[in-house]
Amino acid sequence: MRIVLAEDSTLLRDGLTRLLVDEGHEVVAAVGDADHLVAAVARHRPEVVVTDVRMPPTNSDDGLRAALEIRREFPTVAVLVLSQYVEKRYAAQLLADRSEGVGYVLKDRVAQVEDFLDALDRVAAGATALDPEVVRQLMSGTSRTDPLSRLTLRERDVLHHMAQGHTNAAVAQRLHVSQSAVEKHVNAIFDKLDLSDATGYSRRVLAILRYLGS
């Protein structure tokens, strides 16, 4: 796939470029700041953008804001965000409009090459890929009054994997249960989060957004 990479650390940027090229991908641009990221996407129209959150010019959330701009201006481009830290509001912003083709992965996960490449493939295919640690910390913030407190432990496990972008079949495999059992849990999640009146895939997206916003 055609990829634009944005990372201000030259060492990490070069390492990621070599990794992606070795895996058969084409890195059409590798840049070190948010302004050049947006320009590179406009010029090359890649399939996927891989970007850091904190980078020049202000070294704050420039990469994230560039990712949001890319999502608006180039809706067919998938975005995989890398971050050193779990930043809850950023994940929620990325998913606010739509959850397809977006991922949020901690930089430590890059060292686990298979996990990183799996997240990249899922995002490129239009799915959602959230780092398990991001999901864990998001879940730890739920309060007793939150609607998520109605869920059983198993339903929380199912929603945890849904938020990582896994299908019902993949969730069943990971939890070692039948797909029909997962489907029952998913329907129970929709009911307990008052999403029964929503239709189709939107219920799944809304459930994930409730999860991230908790």
Q: What does the pLDDT look like over 15-59, one tens digit per residue?
A: 999 999 999 999 999 999 999 999 999 999 999 999 998 889 888
Q: What local confidence, expressed as pLDDT, does residue 165 receive?
A: 77
DSSP lists the bridge partners of residue 31 as 6
pLDDT at 212 over 70: no
Contact indicator for 53, 83 with CB cutoff of 8 Å: yes
pTM above 0.85, yes or no: no
Q: What does the pLDDT look like over 74-98, one tens digit per residue?
A: 999 999 998 887 666 666 677 666 6
Q: Could you tell me the domains of the chain?
A: 2-132 (3.40.50.2300), 141-212 (1.10.10.10)
Lowest mean pLDDT among 99-113, 123-137, 142-156: 142-156
Lowest mean pLDDT among 35-39, 84-88, 109-113, 174-178: 84-88
Residue 112 burial by Cβ neighbours in a 10 Å radius (0-12, 13-18, 19+): exposed
Residue entry with tokens 């009146």 = 197
Q: Phi and psi for 55 in degrees, rounded to 5?
A: -160, 170
| Separation CA 54–CA 124 (nearest Å) | 23
